[in-house]
Structure 1
Amino acid sequence: MKKWLFLAIVGVILAGCSNGNSDQVSNEPSTEETSNDENETKTQEENTQQSSQEDTVSEKDEEDEAKEDGQAASETEDKKKSDPNAGLKKYRPEVGMKNIFTDGTAEIFSETAVAENDQFIQVVRDLNGNRTVSVYEWTADELVLVYQDTESEDPFAPIVENFGSNEEEQIIGSNEEVWKLIEDSATVTTELGEFTNVKVVQKTTNEVEGAETIFTRYYAPEYGLVKEVFELTGEQGYSGEAVLAKSEKR
């Protein structure tokens, strides 16, 4: 009897030790779980590093692209300045520049050269939010308005490579039926500075009964239009002008 009682007590003690060891083992993470956690952490760090590297590369690509565009535009301008056969091309405004015109106190309109190729240049005029897209055939020998759109949904989208001509108004060239060259090398002073070798053209219309409407434009090298004068003759006549006051990157 005592022998059986002793065996029973020993069994209870062993069972208790077994349960304690079992609980202790279950509370400690296994080697496999620890390895998985370390792998996940390492993968996250690698993904973060890779994402950071990709962002850096993307930003560098954008900076390089902008630099290349700027260099190309600069080379185009330098070519126009140095080319002895550039002729009227020297009078093109620089693409990407927004020229702001005022009457001396308030802004009247702005003009932005949007795009160009060897034959054409696209300009957007903004008059109190009303934008007009104009494409000029602007070569070494002539300046001709060949396209105009006052209802474009995206006026700043380049169209010089693909548009249909809907105008034919020569401003400077051999045909002076509409616009006449009245000065070939004038000097004009604006808020932005003094311009020399300015070409002055003028157009007179009878759109108002009993009066003449006279438009005068001034074109300077590297800037294009720098001044515009409007005059209505007659008893109720009046005049006004818009002069280049500021030129900035759009």
Structure 2
Amino acid sequence: MKKLSFIALFFVLLVSACSGTDVDQADQLEEPENSETETTEDEAASEETPSEESEEEAEPAEEEPSEETPVEEEPPTEEEPADKEEDHTESDTTEDPEEEEEPEESAEPEEDTVESASNDSEDTEASGSSAGLKAYMPKGPMTKTFTQDEDYQVVHEVVDVNDRFVQQIVTFGDMVTLQILEFTEGRISVVHQESNPEDTSSQLDSFEAHETIDVLVDATGSSAKFQILDEAQTTSTPYGEFENVFVVQRMSGSDVTSMYHYAPEYGLIREKVEDKGDNGYTMTSELTEIQE
């Protein structure tokens, strides 16, 4: 009996030892599964964590525009000066035409001045002198005697001269004529004429030209009746030789041609008239004497 009980105890111990070993092995076998499970759970947690973080990061990325909203509000503040600048520019542009209109209004007299100056220059170029035909006015009172066709005498008595007019008395035989000539840059004209005057004294202090009776010389080029033949001719007369003589030809109708010679400071020094009509003739009058 004791032997059987001992055997039974040994068997029980053996069984318990085996069962403990199995339990340990079972525990060892189960632990890897738990570790793998924990690993997968950790990985899942780690995978879920980045997604949550990414979502959290994505949300600030979407919220950044809301934080930068003041930046978007700044352009209106920048556009307002631009509008002001545009208004300022428009005001400048509206003021510019007013400023430009004044020069245009003031430009009109300038154009008139230029035109008058150009006319004066044309007269000057035509006459060959800086003073135009005024350079050929007699320099003062003098008596000029002309011989006409070697048989007759014509006397031009220059009574008075000013800056514009020349008063002279022309005597041909019994005929006495008072003339006032007007000298401009481009013309020599008869503006007053009186036959057999009672008073031959100077009238230039109060004289005013009211009409043009006859144009003796026109150097402006505006009349086809006149042709400038020379502007600096040397002309010989019985009295003497004159330089820088202005020579002009005038047509009277289709048959009569007159040629005038004007010397600086002496006026007319020679005249030739030719009529080619049926009763044609030629007349030449030359300066033979000057008394100053």
* TM bucket normalised to smaller: 0.5 to 0.7
**Secondary structure of the structure 2 residue equivalent to 1:222:** coil
- Write the letter of the residue equivalent to 1:199: F
2:186 and 2:279 mapped to 1: Cα distance? 39
The 1:131/1:198 distance shift into structure 2, 3 A limit, reads same
Which one has a larger percent strand, Structure 1 or Structure 2?
1
**What pairs with 1:1-250 in structure 2 (closer than 5 Å)?**
85-103=130-148, 105-159=150-204, 161-170=206-215, 171-174=217-220, 175-206=222-253, 212-249=255-292
Contact 2:256 2:274 in 1 (8 A): yes
1:163 and 1:128 mapped to 2: Cα distance? 30
- Write the letter of the residue equivalent to 1:145: V
Please, which moves more after superposition, 121-130 or 159-168?
A: 159-168
2:224 and 2:181 mapped to 1: Cα distance? 18
The 1:151/1:224 distance shift into structure 2, 3 A limit, reads same
Deviation of the 1:128 alpha carbon: 1.0
Deviation of the 1:168 alpha carbon: 4.7
1:97 and 1:219 mapped to 2: Cα distance? 15
Deviation of the 1:141 alpha carbon: 3.9
Contact 1:198 1:220 in 2 (8 A): yes
Contact 1:145 1:167 in 2 (8 A): yes
Computing the radius of gyration from Cα coordinates, the structure with the larger value is 2
Any unmatched runs of 5+ in structure 2? 1-128
1:229 and 1:167 mapped to 2: Cα distance? 23
Q: Which residue of 2 is the match for residue 64 of structure 1? A: none
State TM-score, norm by structure 1.
0.57
Deviation of the 1:101 alpha carbon: 0.2
Deviation of the 1:144 alpha carbon: 2.5
State TM-score, norm by structure 2.
0.50
2:163 and 2:204 mapped to 1: Cα distance? 14
Cα RMSD, aligned residues only? 2.3
Contact 1:120 1:160 in 2 (8 A): no
The 1:242/1:192 distance shift into structure 2, 3 A limit, reads same
2:269 and 2:286 mapped to 1: Cα distance? 6
Which one has a larger percent helix, Structure 1 or Structure 2?
2
Contact 2:167 2:202 in 1 (8 A): no
Percent of aligned pairs sharing the same letter: 27
**Secondary structure of the structure 2 residue equivalent to 1:161:** coil
Deviation of the 1:177 alpha carbon: 4.1
The 1:156/1:201 distance shift into structure 2, 3 A limit, reads farther
What is the number of equivalent residue pairs in this alignment? Answer: 162
- Write the letter of the residue equivalent to 1:109: V
2:223 and 2:205 mapped to 1: Cα distance? 25
Contact 1:114 1:158 in 2 (8 A): no
1:180 and 1:147 mapped to 2: Cα distance? 25
2:156 and 2:177 mapped to 1: Cα distance? 9
1:119 and 1:104 mapped to 2: Cα distance? 32
Deviation of the 1:145 alpha carbon: 2.3
1:235 and 1:132 mapped to 2: Cα distance? 29
- Write the letter of the residue equivalent to 1:216: M
1:85 and 1:104 mapped to 2: Cα distance? 35
Which fold has the larger relative contact order, with Cα–Cα distance below 8 Å and residues 6 or more apart in sequence? 1
Any unmatched runs of 5+ in structure 1? 1-83
**Secondary structure of the structure 2 residue equivalent to 1:191:** coil
2:255 and 2:262 mapped to 1: Cα distance? 23
